[in-house]
Chain A
Amino acid sequence: MSESVKYLILASSFAVLVISFLIGLWAKKKVTSPEAFFGGAKIFGPVTVGLATMAAVGSAFAVVGVPGLVYSSGNTILLFMLAAPAFVFGYLVIGKKLRAMAEIGSVASLGDLADLRFNRHRGIKLMLSLMLFLGCAMYLSAQVEACAKLFENLFDWNELAIGAVIFTILIAYTVLSGEIGGILTQAFQGFVIVLAGFIFIISFFAVTGGFEPVLDAISGPRDTAAGLDPRAMTAWGALPGAYSFAWVMLPTLGIMCQPQVLSRIMMLRDPRDMPRLSIYATMANMVTGLMVMAVGYCAIYLVANGTVTIDHPDKAVFKVADYLGIVAQLFIYPAVLAAALSTSSLFLSLAGNIVSRDLPDSLGIAIRPSRQMTVSRIAMSVMGIAAIGFAAASGDMVAILGTYGFGTLAAATFPIFIIGLLWKGASSRGVMLGMLTALVTTIGGVTIELLKRFDLSSFAWPGGVPWYVFVMAAAVTVTILASLLTRGDELDPRVELAMEL
């Protein structure tokens, strides 16, 4: 790749950053109160919320991690990406109840929602804050890792320096306009991803001629030499079956309680727009799904035919883009950046929310609203640094880091927002115990994975099932069992109305 092309790609990528920054600047005038800054504005339509949700859920995990895993192990990870019906199911099951809760009081964060449902139970808010903070760190690490791979491929820049530059710009526009700017920039970034998706899908068919030549290529004489496995093209891919189970279960049960989804439902102007929101979100998700499948398959095709070599799965998307030429490069690199930014801005806001509002409140510390925004901005900066550190320490692939974050967040939110909103019998003591279980088992799971990473443990999870599945199951069953054994709470009549909607 010539130097001029590299700088052209860099310019197109930074154009996404600059436009995002300008949107954030413009959105600043809509921030009329701390509640609006933190996400309490119910002012957006289904197109904006749909695109923003897809962009924040998709993330660099989808655009970099998933094609890498498709290339290295086949269709297994596509079970995760293609579980789009679960999006709609989530809206169908808890959408109206959740949106109704936002009508009851001033709800700007997930902590505020937990307060309403569980009568301002400090322990639940504390556990939720800690778990969300952990999940944010993992998810943000996946975005850092993806950005590092992007710029490494172009300039061989230092991971720490890349993370610092990207996060500085990101924090700048996030702190200006908070969640209002966040959702608008995410909608723009979602549009960039969808546009890149169309370019890539067309390019895939132009290069390979369709899906069958990929199957032929991986079944050909060069497959083993190239490190490819023909089982990759079956329904379950080349990974052990436990991954197929985990990667169907995780999005199906996890999507409805991801902060990216929950927080956006609360910002929808009219709850009756939720079906249209689900159509826009799933259509955008389908384009992204087809794009990542096309990129992964294209990588398999090119490697099996000896056209390109890929030394790390996370580089698959860039190697394919480089092969396709300047048009694809000018769209895919900015799309990767857009995907990383959209998720990062959401999780930075979330982390800021936790540190400036939810955590102090759970500890009985009152911070006045104007000061909350300053604390939030400091927290975002600290979180960015922590994410860079976690990415460097874990050394995992983008997709694996992404699933860690997804699983941790689901374990944190499922007891409160799914069990809590669907069942009046969910007691605060039951949920508190479930959350404590989630926190302890998550710390245990991450510790074991880190020990394994440094060859300090040979522990194997039963059946090869990823650790976060056990964490989710433990949190949910403890919540239900403890709630059955304890008395339910006296509910605010308005909360009962919302739960019965």
Chain B
Amino acid sequence: MKSGRIQTVLMAASGVLWLGMVGLAAAGHWLTALYVLLGLLLVYGVLGTSHRGRFDLRLVAFPALVWLAMWAAAFVLGNHYAEAFAGRRPDFTLFGFHPSFAAIVALYWVLPTLLMGFGFEAVKDRWLSQQRWDDFVRRVHESDDESAGGEKPE
């Protein structure tokens, strides 16, 4: 399948996911809607790696997919402990936090933020190499020159 068509299919899928996500939340299934959100982010992650008709799935796998897996774990654990200790003080704490919020602090915030920040730096050349950027700038300038050369004097 051509990349343009794949882009269209992915974008159409994102529209369906948007509708599903908000529909689920509106129907009261907000936690399920959060998992759908992760799927939606994955679609945008894939679309964002498009380069000359190819998708770089290694760039999707790390760091974005690892981040999304951490968020899924945060939602599962956060909800599990929120329900387990509903209406009472929890039997234990983690770093002083309610265990359900500790899952959020660790797996929603601290670890994925560090992973995404430093992971992005680690894959910088894969994301945008100096050569690719220079090539882009050169082609843009060539295109500008061609347009200027093609213009007829008034």
A residues with a Cβ closer than 8 A to B are 75, 78-79, 82-85, 87-89, 91-94, 96-97, 100, 103-104, 210-216, 219, 230-231, 233-236, 241-242, 244-246, 248-249, 252-253, 271-272, 274-276, 278-279, 282-283, 285-286, 289, 418-419, 422-426, 461-463, 465, 469-470, 473, 476-477, 480-481, 483-484, 493-494, 497-501
Known contacts A219-B89, A480-B15; A425/B33 CB under 8 A: no
Find chain A residues with CB under 8 A from B30 CB.
Answer: 241-242, 244-245, 463, 465
Between-chain CB contacts (< 8 Å), 11 pairs:
A82-B105, A85-B113, A85-B116, A89-B64, A93-B47, A215-B93, A230-B89, A233-B97, A253-B40, A425-B11, A463-B27
The answer on a CB contact under 8 Å between B89 and A241 is no
Of A211, A235, A242, A483, the residue contacting B104 (CB under 8 A) is A235
Q: Flag if B52 contacts A85 (CB, 8 Å).
A: no
In the bound complex, residues from chain B placing their C-beta under 8 Å from that of A104 are 140
Q: In B101-154, which residues have CB < 8 Å from any A CB? A: 101, 103-105, 108-110, 112-113, 115-118, 120-121, 124, 127-128, 130, 132-133, 136-137, 139-140, 143-144
Query: Are A236 and B64 neighbours in the complex by a CB distance under 8 Å?
Result: no
Question: Given A75-B101, A100-B136, A103-B140, A85–B112 Cβ distance below 8 Å?
Answer: yes
Instruction: Assess A422 versus B140: contact at CB under 8 Å? Given A93-B44, A211-B97, A242-B30.
Output: no
B89 close to A501 (CB less than 8 A): no
Q: Which residues of B contact A462 (CB under 8 A)?
A: 26-27
How many angstroms between the C-alpha atoms of A91 and B140 in the bound complex? 22
Q: Tell me which of A219, A248, A276 has the highest count of chain B C-beta atoms within 10 A of its own C-beta.
A: A248
Given contacts A234-B81, A289-B109, contact A75 B104 (CB under 8 A): yes
Q: How far is the CB of B93 from chain A (nearest CB, A)?
A: 5
Bound Cα distance from A462 to B24, whole angstroms: 10
Select one of B19, B37, B113, B130 contacting A248, CB under 8 A: B37
> What is the interface of chain B mostly: helix, strand, loop, or mixed?
helix
Q: A79-B104, A245-B30, A480-B15 are in contact. Are A501 and B128 (CB under 8 A)?
A: yes
> Are the C-beta atoms of B81 and A480 separated by less than 8 Å?
no
**Residue contact A480 to B12, C-beta cutoff 8 Å:** yes
The residue from A84, A103, A212, A279 contacting B96, defined by CB atoms under 8 A apart: A212
Chain B CB count within 10 A is highest, among A241, A483, A499, for A241
A242 cross-chain contacts in B, Cβ below 8 A: 25, 28, 30
For A423, give the chain B residue with the smallest CB separation. B11
B140 near A245: Cβ-Cβ < 8 Å: no
Q: How far is the CA of A278 from the CA of B117 in the complex (A)?
A: 6
Is B34 at the interface (CB under 8 A from chain A)? yes
Neighbouring A residues of B101 by C-beta, 8 Å: 75, 233-235
| Cross-chain contact B116 with A88 (CB below 8 angstroms) | yes
- Known contacts A248-B34, A252-B37, A253-B40: A93-B48 contact under CB 8 Å: yes
Q: B121 touching A275 by the CB < 8 A rule? A: yes
Smallest CB separation, A295 vs chain B (Å): 16
The residue in chain B whose Cβ has the minimal distance to the Cβ of A75 is: B101
In the assembled complex, the Cα of A139 lies from the Cα of B40 at a distance in Å of 27
- Given the complex of chains A and B, what is the CA–CA distance between A428 and B148 in angstroms? 26
A214-B96, A500-B50 known, 18 other contacts, Cβ within 8 Å: A83-B109, A92-B59, A92-B64, A100-B136, A103-B137, A104-B140, A211-B97, A215-B93, A215-B98, A233-B97, A245-B37, A271-B133, A272-B133, A276-B121, A282-B116, A423-B47, A481-B15, A484-B8
**Pair A500/B51 contact, Cβ less than 8 Å:** yes
- Asked whether A465 lies within 8 Å of B25 as measured between CB atoms, the reply is yes
Contact of B67 among A89, A423, A480 (CB under 8 A): A89
Report the nearest A residue to B77, measured CB to CB.
A235
Tell me the bound Cα distance from A476 to B144 in angstroms. Answer: 33
Q: How many pairs of A and B residues are in contact by the CB < 8 Å rule?
A: 229
Binding site for A on B (CB under 8 A): 4, 7-8, 11-12, 14-15, 18-19, 21-22, 25-28, 30-31, 33-34, 37, 40-41, 44-45, 47-48, 50-53, 59, 63-64, 67, 71, 74, 78-79, 81-82, 85-90, 93, 95-98, 100-101, 103-105, 108-110, 112-113, 115-118, 120-121, 124, 127-128, 130, 132-133, 136-137, 139-140, 143-144
Given A94-B48, A249-B37, A418-B44, A463 and B28 touching (CB < 8 A)?
Answer: yes
A476→B18 CA distance, assembly (Å): 8
Interface centre among B53, B90, B133 (most CB of A within 10 A): B133
Are B143 and A493 in contact, CB atoms less than 8 angstroms apart? yes
Distance to closest chain A CB from B65 (angstroms): 11
Report yes or no: B34 in contact with A92, Cβ–Cβ below 8 A. Answer: no
Q: How far is the CA of A432 from the CA of B34 in the complex (A)?
A: 29
Tell me, in angstroms, the Cα distance from A212 to B97 when the chains sit together.
6
Contact A89 B139, CB 8 Å, known A278-B120, A473-B19:
no
Q: Which residues of B contact A419 (CB under 8 A)?
A: 11
Distance in angstroms from A473 CB to nearest chain B CB is 4
CB distance from A270 to the nearest CB of B (A): 8
Q: Is the CB of A89 within 8 A of B45?
A: yes
Give CA–CA (A126, B54) in the complex, Å: 34
A485–B116 Cα distance when bound, in Å, is: 37
Shortest beta-carbon contacts, A-B, top 8: A211-B96, A235-B78, A93-B48, A212-B96, A88-B116, A462-B26, A480-B15, A245-B30
Determine the residue in chain B with the shortest Cβ distance to A212. Answer: B96
Q: How far is the CA of A294 from the CA of B96 in the complex (A)?
A: 13
Contact yes or no, B11 A422, CB < 8 A: yes
Q: Pick the contact of B136: A103, A210, A241, A463 (CB < 8 A).
A: A103
Question: What is the chain A residue whose CB lies nearest that of B129?
Answer: A272
**Alpha-carbon distance A234/B85, docked complex (angstroms):** 9
Contact residues in A for B87 (Cβ distance below 8 Å): 230-231
**Which B residue's beta carbon lies closest to that of A236?**
B82
**Cα-based distance from A233 to B89 in the complex (angstroms):** 10
